[in-house]
Amino acid sequence: MRTRTIFLFALIAVAAVASRAEARHVRFLGPHPIAAKFGGGYCYIEAPHMHVYAPDHANLYQQVGEDWVFTGDPTPFGYEGERHPFYGHHPVIVDGSPEPVYCLIEGPHFHAYAAPSTPDYRVKDGVAFYVAPIPPAYVKPARVRVVNAEYRPYVSFRPTVEVAPPPEWHGEVYVGAPGVVVGAPGVEVSAPGIEVRGPGVFVPPPPHVAVEVRGPGVFVPPPPHVVVGGPRVVVGAPGPVVVGAPGPVFVGERREGHWEHHDNGRHEGWGKGGGEHGGGWGGGHGRGHH
């Protein structure tokens, strides 16, 4: 009995050591938020790289092979640098991805990169609208819902955008917070006690609320959203909301950002401290293997 107990303990110890040795890195492609238990903040590495942690907000990533690509707005995660406003879904600019990656955030949001100057984008008053079609495989409604639910706590970080979308844009007009005004022709919506006026307006049946319980945490899906016909309007959160005719265009930012100048000190050249390698690396210290 005693021998058996010792053997069992030894087996557990070996298994623990083995699992530690096999701790695998998680692969990332492009910048992304740093996991909270590793200090939080933002990782600025653009090249493919690895960390010992998995993403905290997996829904704001698209997996490309083994790599995680962050598709969200970096603002809420401590990102410091240049920011460019986008509106609605669009491809994510990421080097080295073998497949397209899409940002599925509805409404106004920021990215660290500017929209490329291609016919696929219309930039109105500094806000980029992606006007080309996105393959349906990347815009599944369930995925869109999950992404926007994940982003809902960060609504205050969105840019304030008051702009009539270009006619060739086919996205959904987002009304995210109380008191926000978004231009849309001939439709007026107010909430709570939603009042809808306008030609050809379709009000869908009352939204339902579902609660999904997962152990050990509890996940509550986002509040119901109302979709009004005509130009599609999404009301993302309850509160007095007015959607009016296209009005004056205003683009603002709640927070000003700037590129953080990163200077790691004076250039002191190669080999300082390395003695013999002062002239560079090509010095031929290698052993031939080929």
Partner 1 sequence: MRAAWKSAAACATALALTAAIGCSKKPTEGGVRLQQISDAFNAAGLKADNFQPTDPSRFNATKCLAGRVDDVDTVVCEYGSPDALALGKKAGEQWVGNATTAAVLGNGRTLLAVADRAHTDPNGKTIHKITQAFTKTR
Distance CA 132, CA 159 (A): 23
Q: How far is the CB of 56 from partner 1 (least distance, A)?
A: 15
Stretch that binds partner 1, among 36-44, 155-163, 179-187, 246-254 (CB under 8 A): 36-44
Residue tagged 């599925």 (tokens)? 104
Asked if 237 and 178 touch (Cβ cutoff 8 Å), the reply is yes
Residue 288 in the binding site for partner 1 (CB under 8 A): yes
Distance CA 186, CA 201 (A): 9
Residue 51 in the binding site for partner 1 (CB under 8 A): yes
| Angle, alpha carbons 73-77-79 (nearest 5°) | 80
Nearer to partner 1, 41 or 222 (CB): 41
Q: How far is the CB of 15 from partner 1 (least distance, A)?
A: 18
Residue 142 in the binding site for partner 1 (CB under 8 A): no
Produce one character per residue of 250-276: b if its CB has 16 or more CB atoms within 10 Å, e if not: ebebeeeeeeeeeeeeeeeeeeeeeee
Residue 262 in the binding site for partner 1 (CB under 8 A): yes
Cis? peptide before 192, omega within 30° of 0: yes
Asked if 94 and 101 touch (Cβ cutoff 8 Å), the reply is yes
Stretch that binds partner 1, among 108-116, 162-170, 245-253, 258-266 (CB under 8 A): 258-266
Say which residues have a Cβ less than 8 Å from residue 70's Cβ, sequence separation at least 6: 28, 30, 31, 32, 33, 55, 60, 61
Residue 265 in the binding site for partner 1 (CB under 8 A): yes
**Position among 7, 9, 38, 202 found at the interface with partner 1 (CB under 8 A):** 38
Distance CA 160, CA 253 (A): 6
Residue 50 in the binding site for partner 1 (CB under 8 A): yes
Asked if 42 and 76 touch (Cβ cutoff 8 Å), the reply is no
Nearer to partner 1, 52 or 227 (CB): 52
Residue 227 in the binding site for partner 1 (CB under 8 A): no
**Position among 8, 25, 54, 197 found at the interface with partner 1 (CB under 8 A):** 25
Nearer to partner 1, 216 or 274 (CB): 274
**Position among 99, 195, 256, 268 found at the interface with partner 1 (CB under 8 A):** 268
Nearer to partner 1, 208 or 272 (CB): 272
Produce one character per residue of 113-138: b if its CB has 16 or more CB atoms within 10 Å, e if not: bbbeeeeebbebeebbbbbeebeeeb
Q: How far is the CB of 62 from partner 1 (least distance, A)?
A: 20
Q: CB burial class (10 A; 0-12, 13-18, 19+) of residue 177?
A: middle
Residue 45 in the binding site for partner 1 (CB under 8 A): yes
Q: How far is the CB of 148 from partner 1 (least distance, A)?
A: 27
- Mark residues 5-24: x for contact with partner 1 by CB under 8 A, - for none: ------------------x-
Q: How far is the CB of 173 from partner 1 (least distance, A)?
A: 36
Residue 52 in the binding site for partner 1 (CB under 8 A): yes
Asked if 205 and 225 touch (Cβ cutoff 8 Å), the reply is no
Distance CA 148, CA 136 (A): 17
- Residues contributing to the site for partner 1 (CB under 8 A): 23, 25, 31, 34, 38-39, 41-52, 260, 262-274, 277, 280-282, 284-290
